[in-house]
Amino acid sequence: MGLMAGKRGIIVGVANNKSIAWGVAQQLKEAGAEIAFTYLNEALEKRVRPLAESLGSEIILPCDVQDEAQLETVFAELEKRWGKIDFVVHAVAFANREDLKNPFSQTSRAGFQLALDISAYSLISMTRAAMPIMNEGGSIITMTYLGAMRAIPGYNIMGVAKAALEASVRYLAAEVGEQGVRVNAISAGPIKTLAASGVGNFNEKLRVMEKRSPLKRTVSQEEVGKASLYLLSDLASGVTGEVHYVDGGFSIAEG
């Protein structure tokens, strides 16, 4: 019997087989979880559907987190099919390319709103939509980055969005704890994915990790998946409101 046997939940944020969310999905499946997936649009559906089906998933739904009605439909569908759920994985983020490239003070108001809406507000709306069907002992996780804490060149508006995301984790955890639900974030080191391709100097970030992190290497989707399994399972039943680093120790080492 796996750690997640009998547990059901949803993963939002698989774009392709390089996605961090896909690393999480594989670990959860191996541990016995039943998983529903979402895709952002039809182009991504072509990639997500076969991946989801390869894990035996039967619930694969469209979900643009900016569309409140669609988000509610997703959770209504989960209620119809399953009644209750045990976990939510939030692994989405977005910022306009020019807002990542331009000097930070040039960030447009619209770009600020877009990045914060997709990357941070969506955790709030997703938690709101999920809570009515979350079992006691349920767990919600999201993905963040060190750029929330430090001014990392090229991360710019995403750093502000991740800071809002991390604060939201604490406020949500404080609110839903009474219902026996936990909310945590994983702060992952740089991993080559579709989203990462929009961040300037990304290869440089990987090289710096290899040089300066205590483990002297980068981390993998699989390693983020294993830490996610811990936070989503009963192994972490006493842990909530945390930002858990999976970065080879980079954040504690001298710069």
Please give the positions annotated as active site: 145, 155
Helices 221-232/20-30 angle, 10° precision: 50
Q: Which tokens in the block code for residue 62?
A: 């469209």
Nearer to ligand 0WD, 135 or 251 (CB): 251
Residue 86 one-letter amino acid: D
Least Å from the CB of residue 180 to ligand 0WD? 26
CB 95 within 8 A of CB 198: yes
CA distances in angstroms from 52 to 37, 45, 55, 221, 253, listed in the order given:
7, 10, 5, 16, 38
Nearer to ligand 0WD, 96 or 234 (CB): 96
Q: Which residues bind ligand 0WD (CB under 6 A)?
A: 13, 15, 18-21, 40, 44, 63-66, 91-94, 118, 143-145, 188, 190-191, 193-196
Least Å from the CB of residue 10 to ligand 0WD? 12
Residue 56 and residue 45: Cα distance in Å, rounded?
Answer: 16
Least Å from the CB of residue 38 to ligand 0WD? 7
Nearer to ligand 0WD, 63 or 164 (CB): 63
**Placement of tokens 């001014």 in the chain:** 151
Nearer to ligand 0WD, 135 or 149 (CB): 149
Least Å from the CB of residue 125 to ligand 0WD? 11
CB 197 within 8 A of CB 148: no
Nearer to ligand 0WD, 129 or 195 (CB): 195
Least Å from the CB of residue 178 to ligand 0WD? 27
Q: Residue 66: helix, strand or coil by DSSP?
A: coil
- Backbone φ and ψ for 145, nearest 5 degrees, come out as -145, 155
Residue 93 and residue 115: Cα distance in Å, rounded?
Answer: 7
Task: Count CB-CB contacts under 10 A for residue 139.
Answer: 27
